[in-house]
Amino acid sequence: MNSKRIRLATAGLFVAWLIHDLEELATMGDTSRILLQKLPDWMPVPSSIRQQGLTTSYLATGIATIGLIVAAAAIRGYRTQGRSAFYQNTLLAFGLHGLGHLALSVLTGGYTSGVATVPVVVLFWLWATRVLEQAGVPSRRSLPAAIALLAGSLAVGHITAYVLTGNQP
């Protein structure tokens, strides 16, 4: 029973990410335009991006890049039965990122891209973490490592999108 739940907890990371990021892909272009227009003028954002938001090709490239990272973590978690530090920290980063969506929606006072599927993110994160704990999988989670993984993944996603879309966000 535990091994089946661990397989679901590890492979499920990619499935939960996919559900969430399909919403982001469908909505982030409009949301980014609205949010970027609210930024103070002193923030260094190109005027075309500030006015039009991020393009679909830019978003798709960035999201796919991050998807490769999440897929690698899910595969590593699956192969190690949840013992991989990379998997565990990616799972923690995924949950924290969901909380970030909630915070952004509270700060902006409305819908922001990704917030509709945040329950999937947070519930999966909590469930998978509990599965690992109940199975006696040693915790290799580290809040600093998860935050660094989250920030690094976002940076790699944006840099890749910037380079591959001809510098046209």
- Spell out the SS3 assignment of the chain: CHHHHHHHHHHHHHHHHHHHHHHHHHHHHHHHHHHHHCCCCCCCCCHHHHHHCCCHHHHHHHHHHHHHHHHHHHHHHHHCCCCCHHHHHHHHHHHHHHHHHHHHHHHHCCCCCCHHHHHHHHHHHHHHHHHHHHCCCCCCCCHHHHHHHHHHHHHHHHHHHHHHCCCCC
Tokens (6 digits) for 141: 């989670």
- pTM, to two decimals: 0.90
Structure confidence by residue, pLDDT tens digits, 50-106? 888 888 999 999 999 999 999 999 999 999 999 999 999 999 999 999 999 999 889
- What's the rounded mean pLDDT across residues 117-126? 94
- Write down the pLDDT at residue 167: 60
- Write down the pLDDT at residue 168: 61
In this model, does residue 169 exceed pLDDT 80?
Answer: no
More confident residue, 137 or 32: 137
